[in-house]
A and B are shown apart, each in its own frame.
Chain A
Amino acid sequence: NAGVTQTPKFRVLKTGQSMTLLCAQDMNHEYMYWYRQDPGMGLRLIHYSVGEGTTAKGEVPDGYNVSRLKKQNFLLGLESAAPSQTSVYFCASSSTDPLPQHFGDGTRLSIL
């Protein structure tokens, strides 16, 4: 039982570079979410998806794009990375309920 798997676990980027974070879940969940966690800020919702082929904006969507081409995968893209996007990124998924949410172990991203 892998649950929610995030890749990569760590990454260092230079300002202006692009990259994609991958989230995969094996629980057949409809809902998937991307959060960022910054010191003293808790977790903030970036984007989410309520099913294959759908995406929606969360609280802090600027500078990010997402895609949900397959039900089990949710991709988070940074088109032109900025130092303000240095953070720990967490993916979560939930069933059709749509709660509770199950989290991955995060991707630690540093942008220099």
Chain B
Amino acid sequence: GENVEQHPSTLSVQEGDSAVIKCTYSDSASNYFPWYKQELGKGPQLIIDIRSNVGEKKDQRIAVTLNKTAKHFSLHITETQPEDSAVYFCAATIGGADGLTFGKGTHLIIQP
């Protein structure tokens, strides 16, 4: 089945700096790649997504890039703020089926 690897597991950055989280996937049939933010005690919240026919997508301080050849995609957060502190999950569609396969998450810590 689909396998999604996510790195790093923990990322600490200074407020105002940029943060980058990377994921790789195994199934070449995967065609949808969302990123979720999860705060303590809450469910995952979609922050940005990208489909396989697009290489990059940006929404204010957040951007996602996709390299289909290498089977990896990345989340970029610029000008980080304290409220960006959370656990971030990448995911990919399970090729030919419904549902998502998730990475194991990255705990992002924004240092004041």
A residues near B (Cβ < 8 Å) are 4, 31, 33, 35, 40-45, 48, 50, 56, 58-59, 90, 98-106
Q: Are A105 and B43 in contact (CB under 8 A)?
A: yes
- 6 A-B pairs in the complex with CB atoms less than 8 angstroms apart: A42-B103, A42-B104, A58-B99, A90-B44, A99-B49, A106-B42
Among B42, B99, B103, the one with the most A-chain Cβ atoms within 10 Å of its Cβ is: B99
Out of B1, B41, B89, name the residue touching A42 (CB < 8 Å).
Answer: B89
Bound: A42/B102 CA distance, A: 6
On whether A102 and B46 interact (CB within 8 A), knowing A33-B99, A45-B99, the answer reads: yes
A62 smallest CB distance to B (angstroms) = 15
Q: Are B43 and A56 in contact (CB under 8 A)?
A: no
Q: Are B98 and A98 in contact (CB under 8 A)?
A: yes
- B1 / chain A contacts, CB cutoff of 8 Å: 59
- The 8 A CB mask of B91-112 against A (1 = contact, 0 = none) is 1011000111111110000000
B108 smallest CB distance to A (angstroms) = 15
Out of A41, A43, A59, name the residue touching B44 (CB < 8 Å).
Answer: A43
Among A42, A50, A98, A105, the one with the most B-chain Cβ atoms within 10 Å of its Cβ is: A42
Q: Is B67 an interface residue (CB 8 A)?
A: no
Q: Are B34 and A99 in contact (CB under 8 A)?
A: yes
A34 smallest CB distance to B (angstroms) = 10
Q: Are A56 and B98 in contact (CB under 8 A)?
A: yes
- A101 / chain B contacts, CB cutoff of 8 Å: 34, 46, 100
Report the nearest B residue to A33, measured CB to CB: B99
Bound: A59/B100 CA distance, A: 10
- A31 / chain B contacts, CB cutoff of 8 Å: 98
Report the nearest A residue to B46, measured CB to CB: A100
- A100 / chain B contacts, CB cutoff of 8 Å: 34, 46, 49
Q: Is B45 an interface residue (CB 8 A)?
A: yes
- A56 / chain B contacts, CB cutoff of 8 Å: 98
- B4 / chain A contacts, CB cutoff of 8 Å: 42
On whether A106 and B43 interact (CB within 8 A), knowing A98-B98, A100-B49, the answer reads: yes
A49 smallest CB distance to B (angstroms) = 9
